[in-house]
Amino acid sequence: MRNGRGRKGTWIAGSLLALATLAGAQTAPMTHEEAHRRAEALLKQMTLDEKVGQMNQSAGVTIPGLGSEKPDALITQGKVGSILWLIDVKEINRLQHLAVDKSRLHIPILFAFDVIHGYRTVFPVPLGMASSWDPSVEEQAQHLAGQDARAAGIEWTFTPMVDIARDARWGRMVEGAGEDPYLGSAMARAQVRGFQGTSISTDSILACVKHYAGYGAADGGRDYDSSYVPEELMRNVYLEPFHAAEQAGAATFMSAYMDLNDVPATGNHWLLTDVLRNEWGFKGFVVSDAFAVGSLVTHGYASDPQDAAYKAAMAGLNMDMASLTFTHNLAALVQSGKVSEAQIDAAVLPILEAKYDLGLFDHPYVDESKVDAVLSRPEGLTLERKLAGRSMVLLKNEHQTLPLSSSLKKVAVIGPLADSVKDIEGGWTVEGLFGGPSKSHPVTVLAGLKTRLGAGAEVSFVPGPPLSRLYPSMFDEMSGKKPLPPPTAAETADWVAKAKAAAEQADVVIAVMGEAADMSSEAASRATFDLPGIQQQMLEAAASTGKPVVLVLENGRPLDIRWATEHLPAILEAWYPGTEGGNAVADVLFGDVDPGGKLPVSWPRIAGQEPLYYNHNLTHEPEDRPGFTSRYWDISSKPLYPFGYGLSYTSFKFANLRLSSKSIQKSGKTEVSVDVTNTGRMAGDAVAQIYIHQRYGSASRPVRQLKGFERVTLQPGETRTLTFPLGKDELSFWSPQTKVWAVEPSTFDVWAGEDSTASLHAELTVTE
Ligand code: NOJ
């Protein structure tokens, strides 16, 4: 059944009813078939203007610099299908009343917002959640976020972002699941399940898979820049998580901003119609990214706004986000015969269906009295702390520096992020999005450490100067805020001396450093990966005392931590861990939680290595052989830490890799099994990872490709046998020569282990 409406229930299903009661909604008994029938009937009553109205998503707030107006007049004329960027529930209800009471056909508005990693309870940023290598982390987080959003009047979120990011200069890496299509697909499916549940109803919100497609391949890692991606790379890598999300039933897609191979994604027929609808059978609707229809003129693709509306509609776009280009031009295009009314009908139908599926016609309003109770549910914070702990990656731990002893008496905490409430939750928080006050109470690392250590310990704190930057962040720019200037030489010397003095007095130093939350994400690319500001100087000063320094990173992309890797005993990657982040960091630092996360990206040494990814082809002898090889003369071309890497407080042994059949026909299947043993003295989490390589065929294939993974908790001494399938889904690829997906006869290497450099090996033969 399409759109996942017929999928079997997941563990989540049971809890849906409870929230529906809490939020005052009732489950809608409507089947999708009924929704479809009603949508068709409604469409028959609509004028052309009303149809075009459903294809318009208006801005619900005035955004400085972007000139959006209040949508009241358009709403009463039936010219607004959806509204975005509005979370004030009173205003949501007011506008909904306008639509339901005052517009001719009383069609409710679909309210949309970027609920990216939580509503009031903010979960780790998506790159962090992907580091858990546990799709249930995403599913649980997005389920709670979706419930919160629905109770607060948001029925549609612009999530998941499933763009493959092979280049950490690109700021939006933080919003996705990293570089790998297999891991990214698993995280994409989990998020769709989390938001939409088993079927779209009064209890779910619509997911929106973005940014379709190829956005992460931006030239030079500069956000919005052109992408040039050949079809084989699109199909084998960039499109994979989109397809996975579509198969999982995602109701909506968002077209990307950039040109894909010179054709803007928002006017790209190949993407929006040939692949999405004709090949994959997508039956939902596609919204453009904000202002992207109007921007087709900026791209030099459309001659004027009417041409932009024409090209976007003909490519297969259903809804125009915020540019009003459809509103002002589509009806004229129909009247002149350039666009048929049947095309408009086809574009509008899935929008109306979604409104029926969601139960909006029966329950259009928010119960304002219940919103706060839902958003402040304590179970949200408990869940967030647990998921944040599962998302952290231990990069280094020498001399058993970690876990820390609970009886520490003197701890120095240094770094501008250690007590920064606005950074611990990362970017794209709902309540803080337009600089609004967040009603969550984020726990910083400093606060978490103090709570964990209790009154018996002395905790000193040297923040250093706030992080400065060349340009203001996107939101600061909109509100006219200037970036802070860098510290003077005298201020720098003073902070560095203070960091050193604090370290001298302490038993251990916890340095909480990285990037401010707005230094990654949209319009936040970087050309260097150094620790911004004077963080590096403070770190070196603290380490020069000989005291153990633990570096806790808060960041949205890998950074240049070569010095730290060489000189510090312990490094914990916390990403932006969310509302309970500080407590979760303390849980891991003190060993209450074993760090079991793994890197979803290859960690570069410096920015000059980018794009850097493990699943590349081998086009010459490998780097470590003598002779002419593909390498730099000034630095290793290998990552500092490989894809899939992460330590634990215990150790694991992988053994006995075996295949149920060592030779299969190309239509066949085999199973790969491996025994994983906890060889240490603590319980801990291992992530078993399976990689393959096709040795020859109709095209060169990557040196390794992830094709299976599972995160398991093992007690000391415990052995678990894990089994993974290898068949059509894992072995096939889209060949640029045959132009089809197929399994080819070949020899395949199979590896199992703890990261993408795993050495435990087996061989599989695939015959005709
Ligand atoms: C622009 C961003 O690219 C996209 O990710 C977001 O969902 C929309 N704006 C709406 O806020």
- Is the confidence at residue 274, as pLDDT, over 70? yes
Q: CA-CA distance, 222 to 382, in Å (whole number)?
A: 37
Q: CA-CA distance, 645 to 221, in Å (whole number)?
A: 23
For residue 232, the CA-to-ligand 1 centroid distance in Å is: 27
- Top-tier CATH class for 652-767: mainly beta
Q: Which residues pair with 761 in a beta bridge?
A: 751
- Band the pLDDT of 63: cuts 50, 70, 90: low
Q: Which residue lies with its CA nearest to atom 2 of ligand 1?
A: 289
Q: Which atom of ligand 1 is nearest to the CA of 158?
A: 7
* 3-state SS, residue 655: strand
- In testing the pocket of ligand 1, which one of 173, 210, 475, 525 has its CB within 8 Å of the most ligand atoms? 210
Query: Using a 6 Å cutoff on CB, does residue 158 contact ligand 1?
Result: yes
Query: Using a 6 Å cutoff on CB, does residue 172 contact ligand 1?
Result: no
- In testing the pocket of ligand 1, which one of 68, 522, 525 has its CB within 8 Å of the most ligand atoms? 522
Place of tokens 């096939």: 732
- Is the confidence at residue 180, as pLDDT, over 60? yes
For residue 397, the CA-to-ligand 1 centroid distance in Å is: 38
Q: What is the mean pLDDT of residues 672-693?
A: 98
What percent of the chain clears pLDDT 70, i.e. is strictly above it?
95
Q: Which atom of ligand 1 is nearest to the CA of 159?
A: 7
Query: Using a 6 Å cutoff on CB, does residue 112 contact ligand 1?
Result: no
Q: pLDDT for 500-542, tens place per residue? A: 999 999 999 999 999 999 999 999 999 999 999 999 999 999 9
- Return the pLDDT at 25: 46
- Band the pLDDT of 436: cuts 50, 70, 90: low
- Band the pLDDT of 66: cuts 50, 70, 90: low
- Band the pLDDT of 67: cuts 50, 70, 90: low
Query: Using a 6 Å cutoff on CB, does residue 522 contact ligand 1?
Result: yes
Q: Where are the domains of the chain?
A: 2-160+178-211+244-371, 392-596, 652-767
What angle (nearest 5°) sits at the alpha carbon of residue 426, between those of residues 423 and 427?
115
Query: Using a 6 Å cutoff on CB, does residue 590 contact ligand 1?
Result: no
For residue 430, the CA-to-ligand 1 centroid distance in Å is: 12
- Band the pLDDT of 5: cuts 50, 70, 90: very low
- Residues near 614 by beta carbon (within 8 Å), at least 6 away in sequence: 179, 180, 602, 639, 642, 643, 644, 703, 704, 756
Alpha helical stretches, state H, 248-304: 269
Q: Which atom of ligand 1 is nearest to the CA of 321?
A: 10
Q: Which residue lies with its CA nearest to atom 7 of ligand 1?
A: 158
- Band the pLDDT of 625: cuts 50, 70, 90: confident
- Return the pLDDT at 16: 40
- Is the confidence at residue 446, as pLDDT, over 60? yes
* Residues shown for the chain: 768
Q: CA-CA distance, 668 to 725, in Å (whole number)?
A: 11
Other beta carbons within 10 angstroms of residue 146's beta carbon come to: 29
Query: Using a 6 Å cutoff on CB, does residue 114 contact ligand 1?
Result: yes
- In testing the pocket of ligand 1, which one of 254, 266, 295 has its CB within 8 Å of the most ligand atoms? 254
- Is the confidence at residue 19, as pLDDT, over 50? no
- Is the confidence at residue 158, as pLDDT, over 90? yes
- Is the confidence at residue 659, as pLDDT, over 90? yes
Query: Using a 6 Å cutoff on CB, does residue 163 contact ligand 1?
Result: no
Place of tokens 């699941």: 177
- Return the pLDDT at 437: 67
Q: Provide the mean pLDDT of the chain.
A: 94
Q: Which residue lies with its CA nearest to atom 9 of ligand 1?
A: 290
- Is the confidence at residue 64, as pLDDT, over 90? no
Among the listed ranges 468-472, 481-485, 673-677, which one has the minimum average pLDDT value?
468-472
- Band the pLDDT of 70: cuts 50, 70, 90: confident
Question: Catalytic residue positions?
Answer: 289
For residue 176, the CA-to-ligand 1 centroid distance in Å is: 13
Q: Which atom of ligand 1 is nearest to the CA of 210?
A: 5
Q: In angstroms, what CA-CA distances link 338 with 300, 305, 330, 334?
A: 21, 15, 10, 6
What region does 549 belong to: left with phi over 0, alpha with psi -120 to 50, or beta?
beta
Q: pLDDT for 710-764, tens place per residue? A: 999 999 999 999 999 999 999 999 999 999 999 999 999 999 999 999 999 999 9
> Is 585:577 a contact under the CB 8 Å cutoff?
yes
Q: Which residue lies with its CA nearest to atom 4 of ligand 1?
A: 289
Query: Using a 6 Å cutoff on CB, does residue 210 contact ligand 1?
Result: yes
Q: Which atom of ligand 1 is nearest to the CA of 254?
A: 7
Q: CA-CA distance, 492 to 488, in Å (whole number)?
A: 6
- Is the confidence at residue 20, as pLDDT, over 50? no
- Return the pLDDT at 11: 34
Q: Which residue lies with its CA nearest to atom 10 of ligand 1?
A: 290
For residue 61, the CA-to-ligand 1 centroid distance in Å is: 15
Q: pLDDT for 287-322, tens place per residue? A: 999 999 999 999 999 999 999 999 999 999 999 999
What region does 605 belong to: left with phi over 0, alpha with psi -120 to 50, or beta?
alpha
For residue 223, the CA-to-ligand 1 centroid distance in Å is: 12
Q: CA-CA distance, 533 to 660, in Å (whole number)?
A: 55
Q: pLDDT for 560-593, tens place per residue? A: 999 999 999 999 999 999 999 999 999 999 999 9
What percent of the chain clears pLDDT 90, i.e. is strictly above it?
89
- Is the confidence at residue 27, as pLDDT, over 70? no
For residue 573, the CA-to-ligand 1 centroid distance in Å is: 27
For residue 289, the CA-to-ligand 1 centroid distance in Å is: 6
Q: What is the mean pLDDT of residues 205-215?
A: 98
- Is the confidence at residue 341, as pLDDT, over 70? yes
Q: CA-CA distance, 152 to 372, in Å (whole number)?
A: 8
Q: Which residue lies with its CA nearest to atom 3 of ligand 1?
A: 289
**What CATH number matches the domain at 2-160+178-211+244-371, 1.10.1380.10, 3.20.20.300, 3.90.1150.10, 3.40.50.11900?**
3.20.20.300
Query: Using a 6 Å cutoff on CB, does residue 594 contact ligand 1?
Result: no
Q: Which atom of ligand 1 is nearest to the CA of 208?
A: 7
- Return the pLDDT at 621: 83
For residue 271, the CA-to-ligand 1 centroid distance in Å is: 19
- Is the confidence at residue 471, as pLDDT, over 80? no
> Is 215:172 a contact under the CB 8 Å cutoff?
yes
Q: Which atom of ligand 1 is nearest to the CA of 175?
A: 5
- Return the pLDDT at 61: 80
Residue 677 or 481, more confident: 677
Regarding beta strands 410-414 and 208-212, do their DSSP bridges make them parallel or antiparallel, or are they unpaired? unpaired
Is 392-596 CATH 3.30.930.10?
A: no
Distance, C-alpha 500 to centroid of its chain: 37
Peptide bond before 611: cis, by omega within 30 degrees of 0? yes
For residue 213, the CA-to-ligand 1 centroid distance in Å is: 14
Q: Which atom of ligand 1 is nearest to the CA of 256?
A: 3
Take residue 314 and report the two structure tokens written for it. Answer: 């003909």
- Return the pLDDT at 245: 98
